[in-house]
């Protein structure tokens, strides 16, 4: 994420440009190559991450406009300009490197040179509430987006419920045209409410009833699309069935199989009922993100990262992988794996990423947005009636450089580990 005042320069006639046709051809070629090699999930995740970044920047943009500040630039991406247009006093556009975006407002510090004609509309001349709201707007937008994602997930996708047991997948038996489940008419997503009159409240009970009923005709009460159906299925002896050339059942006592995988099914909230549940889930993730941030910057974690970078066995240790922070490469990989597992899982990951980035961006140190909030608050506390205090940011440069160096080490270590020793797929 970028701060409200990125290092990218403002508009200039001599800025490097890239032909929109060349840029479009490159984008189409890259997307086609990704889809052909790894499927649709990676391009979708990259697009989602880019949208999150621009939503962050839109927060800065809209609050600056509402506060009467001068916004000179609002760009998607960095590097050479692909397309730009000026509407009023603001230049909008797209740059060639889609790794973020920026909103430019003059006068982010008192040492920035500014034309006296626009000085009244600079960030540094705005009131304290306007400065804080502008600086915090990016993180607030992450919170809004995370809340919307949580609500959409609960209302339209649902979350797995241990008490709602059903068919999560259909299996195939080698040499057989149909499995007992297929003959009975079972479908993925069917909730199995009862078996031979016995109510099903967990997957273990359902599996146990099927396994001990070899050759026995079972009566299944199934819920599908809000309707109740009665189906009949007879489990076959797993010792006589092969899957991938191996017997399905190798136990001493024959067990019955229908050709289904059972597990918890997702249950959706009502559109209104999902609102408080989404807010509660958001609060839980905010608390977890704050704790995670403290863990990331702890001396113990840096020692652990050093040990993992210098030791292959430590890097491949399952416990170390579960506890270590991830770079953008690792986050995208996990999101892609989550997308392949299900839309609900992908939404949960994107929500967590939004919250963590929003919380991290409020860390009270430049160049993060939280650093501008901290400076504005310090100046407000030091100001007296009629005598505003102006903080000299240049005196903080050694601390800022040290913080950036820490971020650089953290980025390099996590990137190296995510490329050389990627975390195992947590979704199987």
* Of 355, 345, 416, 408, the residue nearest 45 (C-alpha): 345
**For helices 343-361 and 41-66, angle between their N-to-C axes, nearest 10 degrees:** 40
Alpha-carbon distance of 66 to 68, in angstroms, equals 5
Paired with 261 in beta bridges are 169
Annotation: CATH topology of 159-267: Pdz3 Domain (2.30.42)
Please give the pLDDT value at position 137.
97
Residue 45 near residue 339 (C-beta atoms within 8 A) = yes
Please give the pLDDT value at position 318.
82
Alpha-carbon distance of 409 to 356, in angstroms, equals 19
Domain ranges of the chain: 20-156+334-420, 159-267
Count CB-CB contacts under 10 A for residue 38: 12
Is 222 exposed, middle or buried (CB count within 10 Å of its CB: 0-12, 13-18, 19+)?
Answer: buried
SS (H, E, C) the chain: CCCCCCCCCCCCCCCCECCHHHHHHHHHHHHHHHHHHHCCHHHHHHHHHHHHHHHHHHHHHHHHHHCCCCCCEEEEEEEEEEEEEEECCEEEEEEEEEEEEEEECCCCCCCCCCCHHHHHHCHHHCCHHHHHHHHHHHHHHHHHHHHHHHHHHHHHHCEEEEEEEEEEEECCCECCCCCHHHHHCCCCCCEEEEECCEECCCHHHHHHHHHCCCCCCEEEEEEECCEEEEEEECCEEHHHCEECCEECCCCCCCCEECCEEEEEEEECCCCCCHHHHHHHHHHHHHHHHHHHHHHHCCHHHHHHHHHHHHCHHHHCCHHHHHHCCCCHHHHHHHHHHHHHHCHHHHHHHHHHHHHHHHHHHCCCCCCCHHHHHHHHHHHHHHCECCECCCCCHHHHHHHHHHHHHHHHHHHHHHHHHHHHCCCCCCCC
Q: What is the pLDDT along the chain (428 residues), one digit of tens a residue?
A: 444 444 333 444 468 888 989 988 998 898 888 888 877 888 888 889 889 999 999 999 999 999 999 999 999 988 999 999 999 999 999 999 887 889 999 999 998 999 999 999 999 999 999 999 999 999 999 999 999 999 999 999 888 888 899 998 888 888 777 899 999 999 998 999 999 999 999 989 999 999 999 999 999 999 998 899 999 999 999 888 887 777 887 888 899 999 998 988 888 889 999 999 999 999 999 999 999 999 999 999 999 999 999 999 888 888 888 888 999 889 988 988 888 878 888 899 999 999 999 999 999 999 999 999 999 999 999 998 878 899 989 899 999 999 999 999 999 999 999 999 998 877 65
Please give the pLDDT value at position 428.
58
């Amino acid at each position: 994420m970028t701060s409200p005042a990125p290092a990218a320069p403002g508009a200039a006639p001599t800025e490097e440009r890239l032909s929109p046709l060349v840029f479009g051809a490159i984008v189409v070629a890259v997307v086609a190559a990704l889809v052909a090699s790894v499927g649709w999930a990676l391009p979708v995740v990259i697009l989602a991450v880019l949208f999150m970044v621009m939503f962050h920047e839109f927060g800065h943009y809209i609050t600056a406009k509402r506060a009467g500040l001068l916004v000179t630039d609002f760009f998607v991406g960095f590097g050479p300009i692909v397309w730009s247009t000026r509407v009023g006093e603001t230049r909008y556009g797209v740059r060639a490197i889609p790794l973020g975006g920026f909103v430019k407002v003059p006068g982010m510090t008192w040492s920035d040179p500014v034309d006296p004609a626009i000085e009244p509309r600079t960030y540094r001349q705005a009131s304290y509430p306007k400065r804080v709201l502008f600086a915090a707007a990016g993180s607030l937008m992450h919170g809004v987006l995370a809340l919307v994602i949580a609500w959409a997930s609960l209302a339209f996708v649902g979350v797995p419920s241990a008490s709602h047991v059903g068919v999560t997948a259909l299996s195939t038996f080698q040499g057989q045209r149909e499995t007992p489940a297929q003959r009975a008419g079972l479908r993925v997503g069917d909730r199995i409410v009862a078996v031979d009159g016995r109510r099903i409240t967990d997957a273990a009970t359902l599996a146990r009833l099927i396994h001990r009923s070899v050759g026995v005709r079972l009566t299944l009460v199934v819920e599908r699309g809000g309707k109740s159906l009665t189906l009949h299925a007879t489990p076959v002896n797993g010792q006589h069935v092969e899957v991938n050339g191996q017997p399905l059942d190798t136990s001493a006592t024959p067990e019955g199989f229908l050709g289904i995988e059972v597990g918890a099914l997702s249950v959706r909230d009502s559109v209104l009922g999902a609102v408080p549940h989404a807010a509660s889930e958001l609060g839980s993730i905010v608390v977890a993100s704050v704790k995670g941030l403290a863990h990331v910057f702890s001396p113990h974690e840096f020692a652990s990262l050093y040990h993992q970078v210098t030791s292959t066995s430590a890097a491949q240790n399952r416990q170390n992988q579960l506890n270590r922070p991830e770079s953008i490469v690792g986050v995208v990989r996990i999101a892609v794996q989550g997308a392949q597992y299900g839309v609900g899982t992908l939404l949960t990951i994107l929500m967590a990423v939004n919250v963590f980035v929003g919380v991290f961006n409020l860390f009270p140190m430049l160049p993060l947005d939280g650093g501008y909030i901290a400076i504005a608050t310090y100046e407000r506390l030091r100001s007296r009636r009629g005598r505003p205090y102006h903080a000299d940011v240049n005196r903080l440069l050694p601390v800022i450089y040290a913080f950036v160096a820490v971020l650089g080490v953290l980025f390099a270590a996590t990137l190296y580990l995510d490329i050389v020793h990627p975390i195992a797929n947590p979704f199987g």
